[in-house]
């Protein structure tokens, strides 16, 4: 019997997940992180950075749809989008589906992630890198948001976990910079970990963002790859009404966008802001 190589991910001592590696497509150190892309019989092609699973072909749509469409539909008139990170191209693909969006800037620290995901995860970007509205900046996201004179309607921080280069994207310096770069009625969202296992990430983001935004909240979705339960996405804006639209408004906007998703829909959008009591209690400490 062939004994396949096993990839273990233990984000939390003593509790993790594993993937059998059917074929390694790429594995090397980039300027910033260790990058591997391999094939798995259940989840398709899988990409990990510094030993942490980032995305899989099979369930990436849940994460990318929820981080792109919830803020853009909630905003209602988003024309200028900033993606921080997002090197695999899945977030860009979903943002590009909005014809009302006029300009998309992606600030990714590691050019090699873009290069090798374009080659080995082509279904993630699905041609979005050729979109004429798209502009790629290879830079640390925290430097960009603190130095640029550009303004955005939605900022999506599609970053790694707060280890290695991703650490700077969970700091007050970064959040202050994002608040500075947002237009009136602008919305900031970021992946904020699996709250059952990484609750301290949500509490920390909530406290730091509250210094720069009037309204900080969370929404959630269950994505199998990010094991341990629901993933929380932090949400920040200066106007709480932006996350409190009636279902009928969401339905009207989604219909007008002409976008049909595999996970996201107006009811999921509205319901995703409902949070477990243990997280609400931790956030109100
Ligand atoms: N979906 C994944 C998740 O939820 O963990 C994240 C996907 S994406 C691969 C994360 C990207 O963030 C990577 O391409 C990484 O290079 C980029 N990144 C990490 N730190 C960064 C920083 N300080 N500035 C810009 N991009 C950064």
pLDDT in tens, 54-81: 999 999 999 999 999 999 999 999 999 9
Predicted pLDDT at 2: 59
Residue 220: which of 270, 273, 279 has the closest Cα?
273
Residue 1 pLDDT more than 60? no
Measured in angstroms, how far is the CA atom of residue 249 from the centroid of ligand 1? 32
**Ligand 1: which of 60, 106, 109, 137 to mutate, most ligand atoms within 8 Å of CB?**
109
Predicted pLDDT at 230: 98
Residue 30 pLDDT more than 70? yes
Q: pLDDT exceeding 70 applies to what percent of the chain?
A: 99
Decide: 196 and 282 in contact? Cβ < 8 Å: no
The residue contributing the CA closest to ligand 1 atom 1 is 54
Active site residues: 158
Measured in angstroms, how far is the CA atom of residue 34 from the centroid of ligand 1? 12
Q: What is the pTM of this model?
A: 0.97
Separation between Cα atoms, residue 104 and residue 275, nearest integer Å: 30
User: pLDDT-derived band of residue 4, with 50, 70 and 90 as boundaries?
Assistant: confident
Q: Is the CB of 107 under 6 A from ligand 1?
A: yes
Residue 190 pLDDT more than 80? yes
Mean pLDDT confidence for 170-179: 98
220-251 pLDDT, tens per residue? Answer: 999 999 999 999 999 999 999 999 999 999 99
Measured in angstroms, how far is the CA atom of residue 85 from the centroid of ligand 1? 4
């Amino acid at each position: 019997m062939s004994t396949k190589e096993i990839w273990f991910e233990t984000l939390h001592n003593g509790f993790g997940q594993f993937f059998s590696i059917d074929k390694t497509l790429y594995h090397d150190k980039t300027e910033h992180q260790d990058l591997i892309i391999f094939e798995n019989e259940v989840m398709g092609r899988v990409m990990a950075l510094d030993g942490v699973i980032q995305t899989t072909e099979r369930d990436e749509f849940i994460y990318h749809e929820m981080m792109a469409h919830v803020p853009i539909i909630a905003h209602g008139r988003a024309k200028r989008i900033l993606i921080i990170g997002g090197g695999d191209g899945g977030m860009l693909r979903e943002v590009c589906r909005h014809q009302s969006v006029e300009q998309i800037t992606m600030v990714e620290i590691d050019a090699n992630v873009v290069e090798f995901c374009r080659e080995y995860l082509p279904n993630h970007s699905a041609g979005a890198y050729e979109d004429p509205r798209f502009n790629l900046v290879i830079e640390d996201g925290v430097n960009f948001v603190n130095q640029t004179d550009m303004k955005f309607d939605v900022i999506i921080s599609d970053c790694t976990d707060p280890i290695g280069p991703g650490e700077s994207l969970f700091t007050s310096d970064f959040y202050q910079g994002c608040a500075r770069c947002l237009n009136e009625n602008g919305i900031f969202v970021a992946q904020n970990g699996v709250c059952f296992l990484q609750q301290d990430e949500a509490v920390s983001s909530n406290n730091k963002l509250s210094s720069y935004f009037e309204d900080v909240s969370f929404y959630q979705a269950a994505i199998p790859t990010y094991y341990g339960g629901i993933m929380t996405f932090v949400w920040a804006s200066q106007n709480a009404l932006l996350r409190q639209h009636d279902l009928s408004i969401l339905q009207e906007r989604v219909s007008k966008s002409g976008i049909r998703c595999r996970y996201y829909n107006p009811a999921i959008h509205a319901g995703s802001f409902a949070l477990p009591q243990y997280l609400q209690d931790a956030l109100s400490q």
